[in-house]
Amino acid sequence: MLRKHLTRTRLGLLLAVAAGVMLGAVLGQPSTGVAGSTATKPKNVTPPTITGTAEAGQKLVATRGTWTGKPASFRFVWSRCDADGACLTIAGATKKTYVPTAADVGHTLRVTVTARNAAGATAVASAPSAIVSPSGCPPGTATIQVASMGPPARLMIAEASVSPAVTRRSHTIHLHFQITACGRPVQGAVVYASAIPFNQFKPAAVTTAADGRVTITETRQQGFPAGRHQRLLAVFARATKPGEPALAGVSTRRVVAFRITR
């Protein structure tokens, strides 16, 4: 009798389990959120952007761009980049806003935004900003009129060349310079050039054009060549703002050297 009762009980349990399985198949089981889940990481639609003036001391603001996947959070990281596009993360720059410092001058900036949801995270970088200029630079991207400049912005002798090639028989040389500031050409700067040592070619001063370039023509003097075995012509160049002292304000100086061929 006991054995018959156990057999009936076991049979009842088996039937109950089978019925539960069938009912679950018909009605569906509650989702666990793992198997069969369609959730995906955030996907970027439009990249982050940077707004504001790329100048030391001026605040820049990052936008996070647009995303799919309903991100629950966003993280901002700013980077400093060189002319080749290589970037280094700026320590502590993890907010939506960033104020460029003197260390950023001459570089571009990027912001990387990381969007995160329950399925994971995706990081996307913005396009680079304009080259960060020192404070005192006029706004905009066009040629700078030197009269609009003020310290601490400085002029820069960005390019220097000579034509034709200098030889021991040269009687006239043409010195070519480009003057820039804040990553832009400067018009109206006075550029002075003199050979070192003095009295090799007659020094002269010329004002830069709209592209920031200037050509200074100098004629040979009795001091050239300066030595029997002279191989280089050293030239002292200075760019200044008219009316300012030669060694103050936005002025700059540079020594360049050109090979003397036979």
Confidence (pLDDT) at 120: 95
Classify residue 75 as exposed, middle or buried by CB count within 10 Å of its CB (0-12, 13-18, 19+): middle
| Percent residues over pLDDT 90 in the chain | 67
Confidence (pLDDT) at 17: 43
Confidence (pLDDT) at 134: 76
The answer to whether residues 252 and 178 belong to one domain is: yes
Per-residue pLDDT tens over the stretch 26-61: 344 444 444 445 789 999 999 999 999 888 888 999
The answer to whether residues 182 and 237 belong to one domain is: yes
The answer to whether residues 112 and 187 belong to one domain is: no
Per the domain annotation, does 23 fall within a domain? no
Domain limits for position 177: 144-261
**Window from 15-29, 52-66, 78-92, 190-204 with minimum mean pLDDT:** 15-29
The answer to whether residues 50 and 120 belong to one domain is: yes
pLDDT band at 126 (very low <50, low <70, confident <90, very high): very high
CA–CA distance, 100 with 157 (Å, rounded to integer): 23
Task: At 176, list the tokens.
Answer: 């070519």
pTM (predicted TM-score): 0.55
Confidence (pLDDT) at 16: 46
pLDDT band at 135 (very low <50, low <70, confident <90, very high): confident
Confidence (pLDDT) at 228: 87
pLDDT, the chain, mean: 86
The answer to whether residues 157 and 250 belong to one domain is: yes
Per the domain annotation, does 178 fall within a domain? yes
CB-based contact 42:117 (threshold 8 Å):
yes
Per the domain annotation, does 156 fall within a domain? yes
Q: How many domains are contained in the chain?
A: 2
CB-based contact 98:59 (threshold 8 Å):
yes
The answer to whether residues 95 and 176 belong to one domain is: no
**pLDDT tops 50 at residue 251:** yes
**Greater pLDDT, 229 or 34:** 229
Confidence (pLDDT) at 8: 53
Q: Which residues contact 17 (CB under 8 A, 6 or more apart)?
A: none
pLDDT band at 71 (very low <50, low <70, confident <90, very high): very high
Per the domain annotation, does 239 fall within a domain? yes
CA–CA distance, 77 with 113 (Å, rounded to integer): 7
